[in-house]
Structure 1
Amino acid sequence: MADTTLSGDVPGATLNPPTGAVLALDLGTTTGWALRGHDGLITTGTVCFKPGRFDGGGMRYLRFTNWLSEIDRLSGPVEAIWFEEVRRHAGTDAAHVYGGLMATLTAWAELRGVSYEGVPVGTIKRHATGKGNAPKHAMIDAARARGFSPADDNEADAIAILMWAIETKGGLA
């Protein structure tokens, strides 16, 4: 099972209840996530999809699929998924992992009729900090300023994606 770390509930983070859950993801070996449940409560955390020593190449993606299904079962139904759309990676391995997770996510969503959309990195950073090229620590500081306690930049990015999706109505506001 994937290792999940919860940051817990955030006081004052309850919003008007949506009809379904909204999930925001920062895809990677350590995936940051933020979820607004059907009751409006926001929870956040990270989940690690690093393969074990004896795992085959597809195990990380099977674990991700199972994790998505569990989130949907426990908090869902998931109505919409927003994820960080990365166009450039520091290394080949990171690009392969991201591409595999994105393919898994989009296939999972398509099978269930869940809407999904990527949000450019600069859009997320600009919304959270005012700068489209903000460093990792600035994203963590921005999440903390909103009352969250992210464990790392992955969780902070997921929080920023969720806040962007809520506050801009997915870029339509």
Structure 2
Amino acid sequence: MANLTLSSADAGATPKTQLPPERARTFLALDLGTTTGWAIRAYDGLITSGTVSFRPNRYDGGGMRYLRFTNWLTEIDRLSGPIEAVYFEEVRRHVGTDAAHVFGGLLAVLTSWGELRGVPYQGVPVGTIKRHVTGKGNAPKQAMIDAARARGFSPADDNEADAIAILLWAIETGGGVA
């Protein structure tokens, strides 16, 4: 089972970004990786975020992290959905080969999961996300964390901060349409 870490928004705190229910749609934002950052705006307008680890244990086969990710997506959809759209950080360059492989595998699972359920998905370039919340397309990790905190969130790490930023971008730009 995946390890799940929730932000303070889950502990009863009300985040500053909340839309009236009549305007809210359920969006999921993901920063894909072994530790995946996630943020979801539910149908009631409430935003929740956290991280989930898909690190395999020593007895897992090579595909177990991807099966866990599929199950996690399905559970999030069941509990908070139905998810109407998924936005993810579209990484074009990875520091290491392993990170690129994990990203590619998670992306394949995400896109096939979305296709099977008719859930649209969209990649958002890293620079676009960073520019939207910090004003700089090459902002460092700490600046992303600080930007999320300035908006009333308490991200545990840069993965969660990135997911929050992606979700805010999707909400505030209408998914890039506005």
Q: Tell me the TM-score normalised to structure 1 length.
A: 0.97
Q: Quote the Cα distance in structure 2 between the aligned partners of 1:53 and 1:162.
A: 34
Question: Structure 1 residue runs of 4+, over 4 Å off?
Answer: none
Q: Quote the Cα distance in structure 2 between the aligned partners of 1:19 and 1:156.
A: 21
Cα RMSD for the two superposed structures: 1.0
1:64 partner letter:
F
Q: How far off is 1:11 after superposition? A: 3.4
User: Sequence identity of aligned pairs in percent?
Assistant: 77
User: Aligned match of 1:12 in 2, 16, 25?
Assistant: 16
1:150 matched to 2:147? The reply is: no
Query: Could you tell me which residue of structure 2 aligns to residue 31 of structure 1?
Result: 36
Task: Extract unaligned runs of 5+ from structure 2.
Answer: none
Q: Deviations over 1:49-70 (max 9, x none)?
A: 0001100000000000000000
Q: Quote the Cα distance in structure 1 between the aligned partners of 2:56 and 2:82.
A: 28
Q: Is the 8 A contact 1:125 1:131 kept in 2?
A: yes
Q: Quote the Cα distance in structure 2 between the aligned partners of 1:157 and 1:19.
A: 21
Query: Could you tell me which residue of structure 1 aligns to residue 27 of structure 2?
Result: 22
How many residue pairs get matched? 173
Q: Is the 8 A contact 1:20 1:76 kept in 2?
A: no
Q: Is the 8 A contact 1:20 1:77 kept in 2?
A: no
Q: Is the 8 A contact 2:28 2:167 kept in 1?
A: yes
Task: Extract unaligned runs of 5+ from structure 1.
Answer: none
Q: Quote the Cα distance in structure 2 between the aligned partners of 1:103 and 1:120.
A: 17
Q: How far off is 1:24 after superposition? A: 0.2
Query: Could you tell me which residue of structure 2 aligns to residue 68 of structure 1?
Result: 73
- Tell me the secondary structure at the aligned position of residue 84 of structure 1: strand
User: Aligned match of 1:100 in 82, 99, 105?
Assistant: 105
